[in-house]
Amino acid sequence: MHRHHAAVSALIRTVAETVVLPRFRNLAAHEVLEKTPGELVTIADREAEERLSEGLSAIDPAAAIVGEEACAADPALMAQAMAARAWIIDPIDGTANFASGQAPFGIMIALLEAGDIRASWVYDPVAGRMCHAAAGGGAFINDAPVRARQSGGARARAAISKVGQSAEDHAARTARFAQAFDLTPLPRCAAENYPRLVLGQNDVAIFRRTLVWDHAPGVLFLAEAGGYVARWDGSPYRIGDDGVGIVAASTPALGKQATALLFG
């Protein structure tokens, strides 16, 4: 595990218990805002990011802080993701679920070095499940090593996000995948999607929009668990590149099969 694992996981659990969970199903109307059309933010997102930023700065004062909500207010902060070291923070992934009083939602953090993902944490506050990965060191759930496994059904299970693509493209892509996979709904929460691929609940997840705080933590976790992650053209996922989409799968074979279906 990464050398900062104990400190970061303790920080995440504390913020979950003192900031996030007390407001779950307990938000006033004025505490839920639309920061952009269709994108919600709550008072818990902002307070959690502040607390996580303070804690991570104490753990590694030299690392830049790149938080989702801070970048929403000042997009220029995104450039700091390519710093020598940078913390990437998604204070509540699945905010729409959280704001509506539903699970899943999660807290996600990644540590980057010159744009490379070196460590990540994906926490489910309701289940108390901490996923962690260290580059070259493996993947862990609640500190136990884990390897990605298939769902084991007669046909593999695929979930396809419709965010960032036209309704027509999504419908056509879904129809192609339905010929080879059993389709399952995407839970609107990357903090849930990546663990599902490792735990044998889903086999494939397709994403068009790939914001760094949504995907960097889960990408490393899945890759270190032996799964497959690549851009839609098969190239590696890299922070700051101009690649399109992500294909994530429990095995390389399923990832390549899914990639072949993306464009017919």
Residue 226, φ and ψ in degrees, nearest 5: 95, 10
Residue 206 in marked binding region: no
Longest dimension (CA), the chain: 51
Residue 64, φ and ψ in degrees, nearest 5: -70, 160
Q: Where are the beta strands (DSSP E) in the chain?
A: 32-36, 39-42, 64-67, 86-93, 106-113, 116-124, 129-134, 138-141, 144-145, 157-160, 182-183, 204-207, 228-230, 246-249
Residue 245, φ and ψ in degrees, nearest 5: 65, 175
Residue 90 in marked binding region: yes
64: number of Cβ within 10 Å? 18
Residue 186, φ and ψ in degrees, nearest 5: -85, 130
Residue 124 in marked binding region: no
Annotated binding site for Mg(2+): 68, 90, 92-93, 214
Please state the residue numbers annotated as binding site.
68, 90, 92-93, 214
